[in-house]
Chains A and B, each alone.
Chain A
């Protein structure tokens, strides 16, 4: 296909040559048209000359010629017969061969012979000679100088022959002077020269005109071709954009800023929710199809886009016609006059599902990573409980043996024959059992065992509480207890490098997804332990992790402070990015803080911020609305 920006002509045919060929064609057409018109005029003239010749023969000849008798003169017959002989072939020729050179020259010959005939009929009247000049001028209208040559040759021949044989027929007198022929010839040649000059000039003008017309037509054709090309390209471009817009998964849309009613949705819209595009345009459709949990914050967001010109993307849930939930990402902005919102809606359900699964996987992965530590935490009490119970069992057995020996002594005393040997055995057994030690340590061993069992129970309960496997919806939760559980199962992660201080204040119950909040706290605590580990590695020192909870208005703030390395300035804006990590392979996957942020900000409508000083440590702040994300959003929308 030729492109708009290629102005070149087809290869091998320069523009000038095309125009020249066209000009030549136009010139020839014009000339042929002139020839045809002249041929027609001359065929009528032939007829008129024939008629006037006959009339002339009837009226004039008798008076002009000697004899002077008024009768049908022989000239009348000349006029009828010769005139017919001159006129009829020309009329036929002009009909059959219009514009042919033969016709043209035949007409020149006939016209000159007509002059001769008329001169003869008027008896050589000098005035009739003007017919010759008139005819030459008339022939000049052919704009073909060759025709004048033919005519001149004929008229000269006629004058010469008749001048010699029948002078009266030419000059009106019997004995003209010998130079009369030359005088006539001079005037004929004079007129020829004038006419030929005129013809040459005229033909040149015709050629110029034809050239101009050719230029004009060529330019016209080029312009028309370009217009056609541009129109086609424009249509193709429009089609391309339409296809582009309507074939992507993103749904282009436009809505009234005030009512949030859709004014336009792309033809892909039905795929998102199952509803026909016309249904989308109904009043209230958008609000009605929003998921109940996301309606408040979504309407608030769209309201802000309209009012404050906020150009921010957002993700929210909508309900399909089959009741399934679709996740939608919107990128909208306000129109120039502020009356419309325009943008794109993306179906991100699949991505959300994958994220959810990734989140679950990360949860399992962190539990898996913690498992070794938790096993160690459980193993320690089991070991000392085991040791203590063994000790208690042996001690009970020794005591039982000692009591048996004592009974033998008692029985011997009661029977009246005390046995010194039995008493010695009993003393040996008492020494062997280390009775004072047992008396002192048995209660301690039992207390220690109870303590160990309590520790195991706590860890198991914390594991259960950490995951909150049953909780799908937001519920009112004792965050302090949740944090204690989290710190318990994470203990093995930090206890070798840091002392932990849990400063958990008086806080109200918080409506939240406790399992997710625990995950966020765990990820931050593990990071804190790693950061401190990098500082104290190779020394005998330990760092400190301080976890605090406080109330701040309608929010509860969990702060997690460490005395680790601090976060370098250059990476502070990237730490929440998924897959961003500074840890070696196997120690971190770059998901921890990304998930913490997703939990706190997206699921709970809270904030996750931090303060960090290189070499001093970092403090993360988790701010959660006490009433939960949805309640806060609804209140925000209402005000």
Chain B
């Protein structure tokens, strides 16, 4: 079984880096990607589909709700 693909989206680089450090241990079971903001997330998704998208709600430009709407 291939690892689950998970995308984390936030407008704060530090948050993404902290998450990346924290989730490093799950690198064998989860295939984790990070996107800085909604636009970057859409570009990631275009490259390859994800099983789960975890996003911050309040973001400049496209916010979390708008992003999830677009992903669906």
List A residues at the B interface (Cβ < 8 Å). Answer: 376, 380-381, 383-388, 390-391, 394, 434, 437, 441, 444-445, 448, 451-452, 495-497, 540-542
Contact = CB atoms under 8 A, between A and B. Distances in A.
Given A387-B21, A390-B22, A437-B24, A381 B60 contact: no
B17 A384 contact: yes
Given A496-B58, A542-B60, A387 B19 contact: yes
Quick one: which of B12, B19, B60 has the most chain A CB within 10 A? Answer: B60
B17 A540 contact: no
Q: 8 smallest A-B Cβ distances: which pairs? A: A387-B18, A391-B21, A384-B18, A540-B61, A384-B14, A496-B60, A387-B22, A384-B15
Nearest to A538: B66
B39 interface: yes
Contact of B14 (A394, A452, A496): A452
Contacts of A383: 15, 18
Nearest to A495: B60
A391 B58 CA distance: 25
Contacts of B25: 394
Given A387-B21, A441-B21, A496-B58, 12 more contacts: A383-B15, A384-B14, A384-B17, A388-B17, A391-B22, A434-B27, A437-B24, A448-B18, A452-B14, A496-B59, A496-B63, A497-B60
Given A391-B24, A434-B24, A437-B24, A376 B58 contact: yes
A452 B27 CA distance: 26
A452 B21 CA distance: 15
Nearest to A434: B24
12 contacts: A376-B58, A384-B18, A387-B19, A387-B21, A388-B17, A391-B24, A441-B24, A445-B17, A448-B14, A448-B18, A451-B14, A495-B60
B61 A542 contact: yes
B12 A445 contact: no
B12 A444 contact: no
A352 B10 CA distance: 48
B56 to A, nearest CB: 9
B20 to A, nearest CB: 8
Nearest to A452: B14
B24 A444 contact: no
Contacts of A496: 58-60, 63
Contacts, number: 55
Interface of B: 12, 14-15, 17-19, 21-22, 24-25, 27, 39, 58-63
Quick one: which of B21, B39, B62 has the most chain A CB within 10 A? Answer: B21
Given A384-B12, A540-B39, A542-B61, A448 B24 contact: no
B61 A388 contact: no
A541 B60 CA distance: 8
B24 A381 contact: no
A444 B24 CA distance: 14
A562 to B, nearest CB: 16
A380 B39 CA distance: 21
Contact of B21 (A388, A540, A542): A388
A542 B21 CA distance: 31
A437 B14 CA distance: 17
B8 to A, nearest CB: 11
A42 B59 CA distance: 132
A608 to B, nearest CB: 30
A400 to B, nearest CB: 16
Given A384-B12, A434-B24, A437-B24, A391 B60 contact: no
A381 B61 contact: no
Contacts of A391: 18, 21-22, 24
A497 B59 CA distance: 9
B60 A380 contact: no
A445 B21 contact: yes
Contacts of B18: 383-388, 391, 445, 448
Contacts of B39: 540
B32 to A, nearest CB: 13
Contacts of A542: 60-61
A437 B21 CA distance: 9
A383 B15 CA distance: 7
B17 A448 contact: yes
A374 B22 CA distance: 25
A173 B11 CA distance: 165
